[in-house]
Amino acid sequence: MPNQVIAAVKEVGHRVVDGYAELLRMPNTARFATGAVIASMPAPMVGMTITIAVQHNYGSYSLAGALTAIQAISMAIASPLIGKLVDKFGQKQTAVPTIIIWLLAAASLITAITLNAPVWVLYCLTPLMAAIPPWGAMSRHRWTTLLKGDHIRTERALSLCGVFDEAMWVVGNPLASILAVYSGIVAFAFTGLCVVVGAIMFLGALGTEPPSQTDLARKEGITRKEYRRRQAALQASLQGEKRKSTFWSAGLIAVCVTWFGLGAFQSAASISIISFATEQNMKQMTGFVFACFSFSSLIGALFYGAKSWSTPLWKRFYFCLVVVNLGIASFLFAHNLWTIMAIYLIIGICQSPTWINGNQLMLHLVPPIRFTEGMSWLNAMNAIGSSAGSAIAGIFIDSYGSRGGFAVVSTLALTSLAIAFVGLRQIRASTEQPDLTLMSR
């Protein structure tokens, strides 16, 4: 029996390593996949750096919280707009000026914080920190374009993106806290270096960039508007629709609403855990609790992509959603931080697969020429939900302590799950439609 177990583990290990290694051996894929992760470091680092630097220089957590909220909301608004520009004009054409704006904004903001500039200056500069290209969405667009029609390898590539994303968060949060405590300038300088190095790697991966709407329309000798109209008609014919196909289909709306709820209860859980740990004099352990969730999620992504699934996508989507939602809702009944940590380790296995399934749903919901925009909307709805969840939980924590926060978490998680099941028919129907990457074949 032990030999059989060892053999089974080795087989799974070989499948995991060989499957992902095959993807990364494709020309320039390792370069753009790694570059996307490095360039995305502002996501886990900027909020933490602003919080620590502002608290150190201004002595105000409320100001720090307000600025990070402004940055999160600004990113939620800007992300779909930047994604739309990427699809229209191309990744390189949009990313380069966006990066320049971000670097100037970052330099100005940290200078203002260091010099204790008037608060209104910080409020003016912080929204400009949202000028970040959607590296994750652009990386996924490259994979889906390179692997169009190959469902197994596409799913594996999206899982690989999930592994890289989780690794970024595992490293980014503690790194930001260490650097920002030492110096806000050093933390921002390091983040800016990551943006530049990652961008050079990503944008320099020749032969992997998907053609933009402008490129495709020019090739056909027509305008972008005419090309989009033609693609909409093709989408309708592939999906067997008699009506005119629109970007905002019922399935897309259902997924975006689900992602809003996912962001709301997960962010409410985070702030409630911090409050709970503080009450138990274990605040120093909160980083480890979140790291357990990220690590478990990373393992889930790694093994999820290694398996060739025969179960329908919509069933996998709802199974993972149920595990995550009910698991986090159960925090209300936890009596100590170790219980929460154990729950996170268990349900974290389904966290990344939930996102991977959502990414795959987008392949059925939006045409390739608008994939980056679609993914950006998904992330934006999650970010808006996160801001709302934190705000609601914070009010109840101030009044009733961590138990009030966990009551909000449970309510949001169960409500989110109920809303997700309201969209079951639309989401199931969308998975039964053809993969829209076929439109570019």
Q: Summarize pLDDT for 120-176 with one digit per residue, the tens.
A: 999 999 999 888 899 988 998 899 888 887 778 888 888 888 888 877 877 776 676
Query: Based on the number of CB atoms within 10 Å of its own CB, is 369 exposed (0-12), middle (13-18) or buried (19 or more)?
Result: buried
pLDDT digits (tens, 9 = 90+) for 375-387: 888 888 888 888 7
pLDDT in tens, 24-65: 889 999 999 999 989 988 877 787 778 778 877 887 767 776
pTM of the model: 0.80
Q: What pLDDT score was predicted for residue 8?
A: 54
Q: Which amino acid is at 178?
A: I
Q: How far are the Cα atoms of 54, 163, 384, 407 from residue 295, in angstroms, in the given order?
A: 29, 9, 25, 26
Q: What topology does CATH give the domain 247-441?
A: Growth Hormone; Chain: A; (1.20.1250)
Of the chain, the end-to-end C-alpha distance in Å amounts to 49
pLDDT: which is higher, 199 or 281: 199
Express each pLDDT in 291-328 by its tens digit: 788 888 888 888 887 777 788 888 999 999 999 999 99
Give the mean pLDDT of 265-283: 81
Instruction: Determine the pLDDT at residue 306.
Output: 73
**Residues listed for the chain:** 441
- Domains in the chain: boundaries: 28-210, 220-246, 247-441
Is the C-alpha dihedral spanning 163, 164, 169, 175 positive or negative? positive
pLDDT attached to residue 177 = 65
Q: What is residue 407's predicted lDDT score, i.e. its pLDDT?
A: 92
CA atoms within 13 A on the CB side of 94: 27
CA 28 distance to own-chain centroid: 23
E-state strands within 128-236: none
DSSP label at 38?
H
CA distance readout (Å), 169 to 76, 157, 161, 367: 18, 19, 13, 29
Q: Is the pLDDT of residue 246 over 70?
A: no
Q: What is the pLDDT of residue 36?
A: 92
Q: Is the pLDDT of residue 278 over 50?
A: yes
The answer for residues whose C-beta is within 8 angstroms of residue 371's C-beta and 6 or more apart is: 87, 137, 140, 141, 144, 210, 362, 363
Which CATH number applies to 28-210? 1.20.1250.20
pLDDT given at position 441: 44
Q: What is the reported pLDDT for 125?
A: 93
Q: What is the mean pLDDT of residues 263-292?
A: 79
Q: Where are the beta strands (DSSP E) in 185-342?
A: none
Instruction: Check if 28-210 and 247-441 are the same fold.
Output: yes
pLDDT single digits (tens) 68-95: 778 878 888 898 899 989 988 999 999 9
- Residue indicated by tokens 């940290």: 110
Among candidates 371, 380, 339, which has minimal Cα distance to 142?
371
- pLDDT tens string 335-358: 888 898 899 989 988 888 888 888
